[in-house]
Structures are given as C-alpha cells and as structure tokens.
Amino acid sequence: MLITMVLKPLDIPTTADSSLTLFDLQRMVRSTLETRFADPVWISAEVSELKVNRSGHCYLNLVEKGNNEAQPRAEARAVIWRSAYSSLAASFAATTGDELRAGLRLLVRVVVTYHEVYGFSLQIIDIDPSYTLGEVERRRRETIAQLQADGVWDMNREVEPSRPLLRIAVVSSATAAGYRDFMQELSRAPYALRTTLFESQMQGEGAEESVINALLRIAAAEDEFDAVALIRGGGSTSDLALFDSYRIASHVAQFPLPIFTGIGHDKDVSVADMVAYRMCKTPTAVATTFAEMLDAEMMQIEDYALQLRSYVAERLSCEKVAHERISAELSRSAILLLTNLSHRLDRAEESIAEGASQLLRAARERVDSCATVVDSFSLDSLLRMGFAVMRGVRSIDDVTVGDSVSISLCDGEVDATVTKTKKRV
C-alpha cells in the first residue's frame, strides 16, 4: 500500500549571514522524522546483509529491488537490539524452520530513527514470519506457472531412460550427510553401479549458480551417464526453497537425462521434485530406487530367460516331432524308391538277358554264315569247282620252259613239263 502525505514545508529562515550548523540541521531532521513517525510502521524488504556482533545486537541491511535487481531502488540500515533479537529469531525459526539470514524477504515492524552522526536507520521491534512463508509460496507458484507456460513441465518425465541404469552422475555437496547416506545405501546393492560426483554448493549465496553449473557439466558429457541423482539432506524451508528456483527447475525439466531427486525430508516437495523424472523422499530413497529398478531389470531378464527356455523346449519338442515325421516319411520314401529301383533292375536284367541272347543268336548266325562263306572258298571246294593248283609256283617268273611242275586236281596229282610260258600284259 502506497501512502502519500502532503506535508507543509518547514519555515526555516536562513541567510548567508544567519545560517544553521550541520548539527542543527541534523537535529531538526531527527526531530521532524521522530515527530512524523512517532508510531512504529510495518514495512516489507529483503535482507541483503545480516551480522550478529559479540554484544548480541543484530545489524541488517535492507533493500528494495527494482526491475534491475543489480541496483536496489531503496536501501536502509536496520538493527535488532539484543533485548529483542533472541526472542524474535527464535519465534521466526520456530515458525519458518529457518534462521534469519541474508536473502530472505521479511515483513518487519520498525521504529524510524535518525542520528546526527550515523544518519537514518530502522529499529526492528517485530517480525511477521508468516509473510516470509507466504513469499516463498508465492515465488513457488510463480515458478510452476512459468514452467507450464514455457511448455517444459513434463519434458524430463518423458525422457526415455537407458536400460539398465548403471552410470550415475550425482549433484551434491561432497561433505553432506545426505550424500554419505546415498553412497552407503548404494553400496549395499549387488550391482556394479558407477557414480561420479559433480560437487555443488547446496545452500547459501551462490548455491543456485553452483547447482546449475553442475548440471551443465553433466549435460556436456551426457553420453557417459545413464541418469542424474540430485540430492540434498533435510534443511529449513528457506534452504530448500533453493529448489523452487525457476532457473534450477527449468534446467531440471529440460535435462536430456532422467533426473532422480532426493531433496529434504519426506514432507518436502520442491518444484525441482515436481518436474524431475522421479521424485524420491530422501537421498537414501534415491539409492534405494536405483537398486529396485535394477532388481526389476534382473527379474525381467530372468523372466525373459524362463520364457526363452520354455520357448526353446517347446520348439525343440515340435522340431523333434517334425524330425521323426520327416524321418518316417524319408524311410517310407526310401523303401518305396528302393522297391521301384529293384523292380526296374529286375526288368533291366531281364531285358539285358533277352537282348544278350538275341545278340548271341545273331552273332552265332553271322558266324555260321561266315563259316559257310569261308568253307565255300576252301581249297577242296575250289578244286571241286574245276580249278587246279600248281604247288610251289607263285608267279610266271618262277618257272621256265622245261621245268617239271606238280598240279593238284580234285581227285589227284599230275606231274607236267613246261613247254611254253606267256606273261600277261
């Protein structure tokens, strides 16, 4: 609420010869402020610095940020005196679960003060912790609405994870109890999981940038990992509000690998939990989830093995029956073929025997015919036909006139003397 007051200018006549001292001016400013702000007022502001000194007094620097958050549009010093600080801090912590610290936005009741030396300051006499809780919830709702408007709300939950999940990138503080619990629980699993820690600051100033840088380093080497574990042990509501950050939640939502979150306690649910692939209650629960997923993988593999064995046994049985049927068919076919071949051989043998007999008869007839021909050309046959044989004479040149020759006839021999020769031309 903006309160506008129309104030009457102060009538302070001064001249070069009649001027005020600096102290007089400061005292007048103090008197005016303390008169105008005689009653305490409620204001909202962000704590940019906070320090409790040895005496127990708490000194703060309050700012009001504009559109350009690097340059505040209003700033003031404030103090909570020791007499009030203990009770206010305890009440705030009991309600919010967080300590007063830099970075919180507070609704405080203040007394406006002015000192001639130290200038303007505010004395805090009361704090409304419900405002801080409401501010955290408001920012949380804004983050959710923005992520949904960006269209990235379901992206990480839709990532198809590698199977099995064995290479885990871990975003955590190396010294955190939650990280130790995570590693101890993971060591109990009977699987060869490989974890790589990307150490990150998980609370305080610079934590947001540290978590985002860890995620960016993992994304740059995404082929080396199957999943990401984003873990942090329990903490105050304000500490865990880090994971309601739009920038962190946006990186988680759009991350290329499935992210498993284990942030805070059972009752804590951050925006990063909502957009992650899987939300687990605690860091230990993240490790348990990885082990259970691998158990499920092993059970599925064993189920596949049983199905495969059953299928193989059934297939072998079918193949055996088919083999026996084929063997029987082959045996019957072989017997039938052999029988047919035997019949064909018998017929061939009969045909060959008959053909051989015919050939032998024909050959015998030809031999008999040849014998008849040969007999017709024998010496006796020729002699009976009227031919005579002069023995020992082959050519006309073998005899001369006066030689004695012997001539064979069919019925005897004739001795003769050659009286004349005549050579055929």
Has residue 69 got a pLDDT over 60?
A: no
pLDDT tens digit sequence for 327-373: 888 888 888 988 888 888 888 888 888 888 888 888 888 888 887 77
Has residue 58 got a pLDDT over 80?
A: yes
pLDDT tens digit sequence for 380-414: 777 777 788 887 787 888 888 888 888 888 888 88
pLDDT recorded at residue 278: 93
pLDDT recorded at residue 203: 82
Confidence of residue 206 (pLDDT cuts 50, 70, 90): confident
Q: What's the pTM? A: 0.54
Between 61-65, 84-88, 269-273, 370-374, the lowest mean confidence (pLDDT) is in 370-374
pLDDT recorded at residue 56: 92
User: Which fold, 152-290?
Assistant: Rossmann fold (3.40.50)
Taking alpha carbons only, the member of 156, 293, 141 closest to residue 215 is: 156
Q: What's the order of all strands across the beta sheet hosting 389-390?
A: 389-390, 404-409, 412-417
Give phi and psi for 14, each to the nearest 5: -135, 150
Q: What percent of the chain has pLDDT over 70?
A: 95
pLDDT recorded at residue 54: 92
Which has more pLDDT, 409 or 286?
286
Give mean pLDDT, residues 2-24: 73
Output the CATH code of domain 22-127. 2.40.50.140
Between 138-142, 231-235, 376-380, the lowest mean confidence (pLDDT) is in 376-380
Confidence of residue 286 (pLDDT cuts 50, 70, 90): very high
Has residue 109 got a pLDDT over 90?
A: yes
Alpha-carbon distance 252 to 250, whole Å? 5
Alpha-carbon distance 403 to 412, whole Å? 20
pLDDT recorded at residue 420: 86
Confidence of residue 197 (pLDDT cuts 50, 70, 90): very high
Asked if 171 contacts 198 with a C-beta cutoff of 8 angstroms, the reply is yes
pLDDT recorded at residue 76: 92
Residue 183: C-alpha distances to residues 193, 226, 268, 290 (Å):
11, 17, 21, 12
Alpha-carbon distance 40 to 88, whole Å? 16
pLDDT recorded at residue 1: 52
Alpha-carbon distance 132 to 95, whole Å? 10
Confidence of residue 7 (pLDDT cuts 50, 70, 90): low
The full set of domain ranges for the chain reads 22-127, 152-290, 379-417
Alpha-carbon distance 240 to 270, whole Å? 7
pLDDT recorded at residue 3: 56
CA angle 160, 165, 169 (to 5 degrees): 95
Provide the 3-class DSSP secondary structure of residue 118. Answer: coil
Alpha-carbon distance 178 to 233, whole Å? 5
Length of the chain: 425
> What integer best gives the mean pLDDT of the chain?
86
Provide the 3-class DSSP secondary structure of residue 64. Answer: strand
CA angle 281, 136, 61 (to 5 degrees): 125
Taking alpha carbons only, the member of 54, 7, 56 closest to residue 35 is: 7
pLDDT recorded at residue 414: 84
Between 6-20, 40-54, 90-104, 111-125, the lowest mean confidence (pLDDT) is in 6-20
Asked if 277 contacts 159 with a C-beta cutoff of 8 angstroms, the reply is yes
Confidence of residue 296 (pLDDT cuts 50, 70, 90): confident
If you search the block for the tokens 């060869």, which residue do you land on?
Answer: 192
Confidence of residue 4 (pLDDT cuts 50, 70, 90): low
Confidence of residue 70 (pLDDT cuts 50, 70, 90): low
pLDDT recorded at residue 62: 93
Region of residue 56 (phi > 0: left; psi between -120 and 50: alpha; otherwise: beta): left
Give phi and psi for 238, each to the nearest 5: -70, -35
